[in-house]
Amino acid sequence: MRWALVKVCLAVTAMVVIAFAVPLGLVIKEMARDRAFSDAERQAATIGPTLTVTTDSQELTRAVLSTEPGGRGRLAVHVPAAEHDGSRLEIGTRRATLDDLETVRTSGRAAIAEVPGGFALLQPTALGSGGTAVVEVFVPEDEVSNGVGTAWLVLAGVGIALIVGSVAVADRLGVRMVEPAQRLAGAAQDLGKGRLGTRVPEEGPTELRSAAVAFNSMADQVVQLLANERELAADLSHRLRTPLTVLRLNAASLGEGPAADQTRAAVEQLEHEVDTIIRTAREQRPQTQGGPGGAGAGCDASEVIRERMGFWSALAEDEGRTVRLAGVDRTVRIPVARPELAAALDALLGNVFRHTPEGTAFAVDVHHSGDAVLVLVSDAGPGIPDPESALARGASGRGGAKGAVGSTGLGLDIVRRVAESTGGDLRIGRSVLGGTEVRIWIGLDGGPAERARRGHRVGRRSGKRRPRGVKGGNTEFRRTPGAGPDL
């Protein structure tokens, strides 16, 4: 494309230069010829007054030699015989033929005759006696073409400069058009090879800039789609941890025997496979934007929390745990999809059962403050030694009697994404029960300014303080037959 543009520009410019330079050169040549013969006519006219007065040879000789062309031997006067005692009188050197002289004398019109070395201007001049003499002025060839060669060289130089300049401009335009296209093609190949971070500069002509913008947008969408797939795979796999926890706890109560050992081994293998799926989905997962709930999603937080606590209370009864629930006696609408809130609660409550000893009490409190909803999950366990590490994406910071074996660190990440999708945040502190308190701040407007303000306000609170104004009484739960996680 680049060389094609250069060739087209070269051809067009060359045709334009030829179309203008050749006629202009011919005009210059004709102007130089006209100038030379106009000077010769003026020189011939200088001898006319003398011929009207006398035809004496000596007088005419002096008059001819007094002129500039006569002194250089370029002026001659031819007087016919009838006007000079019966014989022809010629002053100066004759170069034209007698036939040319006779033709001019007879016709009475000036003429130009080609002679060796140049041209001869033959100018008829009336004599005082009534006859006609012919004044001959010799014009050398170099005077006829004087300045023509220089003018042609200048025109040729200008034409070459125009051609070279047009080729250079066309080449630059070609580069400006080709390079963005080459970058776009290379980026498409890199994206096809799996280099998802490939982007192209939005440069060049308007059309190529639009193509670059479309390519970058497409690449971002590809990355977003892949990230969403990995997030979905990891989240769904993590949600399997909830029923696996139930199976593991139930398997632990089977006692001893081959069947019990096989059941526990199968549960352990299944947990291992789920952890492998989660880690594989997270290994190359890029950071994505957008909340898990999606546009227009929402649910009643109180209803979802009551349902999930109804499920977990059965396990709590089996392990002798004291459960307390507060603040769910009224409807609290939040901009989070029901499955996502259920998954976040299951992740937090599953951590309580997994990482605290049996018999450890826990509580869930809900506080509605008008522009946000605060969900507190507290326990009386040993707590988290390093909350910042626990909040790190993909890290497992939970310690306890049962350790953190098999933990992927995705549970808190699911909770954090749910909170941040609404403009809220997630924080970990020390609960009044003596263990860990996880605070989920869910914004009701989702604005970034409000989120920053709330994050600053929550960050100043002490981890040991409970939020004021929590309403609702305590609720005790009994085992619900057939209850299971809401996936």
Model confidence pLDDT, tens digit, residues 5-55: 777 888 888 888 888 888 888 888 888 888 888 888 888 888 888 888 777
Residue 321: per-residue pLDDT: 92
Region 224-242: mean pLDDT is 70
Assign 461 a pLDDT band (cuts: 50, 70, 90): very low
Residue 469: per-residue pLDDT: 34
* The pLDDT of residue 451 is above 60: no
Asked whether the beta carbons of 414 and 344 are under 8 A apart, the reply is yes
Between 358 and 412, where is the model more confident?
358
Render the burial of 256-268: b for 16+ CB within 10 Å, e for the rest: eeeeeeebbeebe
The CA–CA distances, whole Å, from 17 to 32, 149, 153, 159, 163 equal 22, 18, 13, 6, 8
Look at the alpha carbons of 352, 353, 354, 359 in this order and tell me if their dihedral is positive or negative. Answer: positive
Q: What is the dihedral of CA 240, 266, 403, 396, to 10 degrees?
A: -40
Chain mean pLDDT for the chain: 76
Residue 184: per-residue pLDDT: 85
Tokens of 360: 């450890």
Residue that has been written with the tokens 């096989």 in this structure:
262
Look at the alpha carbons of 92, 95, 100, 102 in this order and tell me if their dihedral is positive or negative. Answer: positive
Between 81 and 373, where is the model more confident?
373
Region 67-91: mean pLDDT is 77
| Range of weakest confidence among 81-95, 168-182, 271-285 | 271-285
* The pLDDT of residue 440 is above 60: yes
Assign 482 a pLDDT band (cuts: 50, 70, 90): very low
Angle at 188 between CA 185 and CA 194, to 5 degrees: 145
Beta partners for residue 90, in sequence order: 78
* The pLDDT of residue 98 is above 50: yes
Highest-scoring range by mean pLDDT, 93-102, 281-290, 375-384: 375-384
Render the burial of 289-328: b for 16+ CB within 10 Å, e for the rest: eebbbeeebbbbbbebbbbbbbbbbebbeeeebebbbbbb
Residue 86: per-residue pLDDT: 56
Between 264 and 416, where is the model more confident?
416
Between 251 and 68, where is the model more confident?
68
Assign 143 a pLDDT band (cuts: 50, 70, 90): confident
Residue 374: per-residue pLDDT: 92
Look at the alpha carbons of 50, 51, 52, 55 in this order and tell me if their dihedral is positive or negative. Answer: positive
| Range of weakest confidence among 192-206, 320-334, 357-371 | 192-206
* The pLDDT of residue 290 is above 60: no
Residue that has been written with the tokens 């989702």 in this structure:
446
pLDDT tens, 179-223? 788 888 888 888 888 787 888 888 777 888 888 889 888 888 888
Tokens of 394: 């993909």
Cα of 391 vs its chain's centroid, Å: 36
In angstroms, what is the C-alpha Rg of the chain?
54
* The pLDDT of residue 464 is above 50: no
Residue 1: per-residue pLDDT: 65
Q: What is the C-alpha separation between 261 and 254, in angstroms, rounded?
A: 9
Assign 326 a pLDDT band (cuts: 50, 70, 90): very high
Residue 20: per-residue pLDDT: 83
Region 430-456: mean pLDDT is 70
Residue 360: per-residue pLDDT: 92
Residue 442: per-residue pLDDT: 92
Residue 477: per-residue pLDDT: 38
The number of helices, as runs of H, and strands, as runs of E, in the chain is 15, 12
Highest-scoring range by mean pLDDT, 157-166, 283-292, 391-400, 403-412: 157-166
Residue 80: per-residue pLDDT: 82
Region 384-403: mean pLDDT is 57
Maximum Cα interatomic distance, the chain, rounded to a whole number of Å: 165
Residue that has been written with the tokens 């403009």 in this structure:
423
Highest-scoring range by mean pLDDT, 143-147, 241-245, 416-420, 448-452: 416-420
| Percentage of the chain exceeding pLDDT 70 | 78
Q: Of 357, 415, 356, 364, nearest to 391 (Cα)?
A: 415
pTM: 0.40
Asked whether the beta carbons of 473 and 459 are under 8 A apart, the reply is no
| Range of weakest confidence among 81-95, 141-155, 325-339 | 81-95
Residue 286: per-residue pLDDT: 45
Beta partners for residue 123, in sequence order: 135
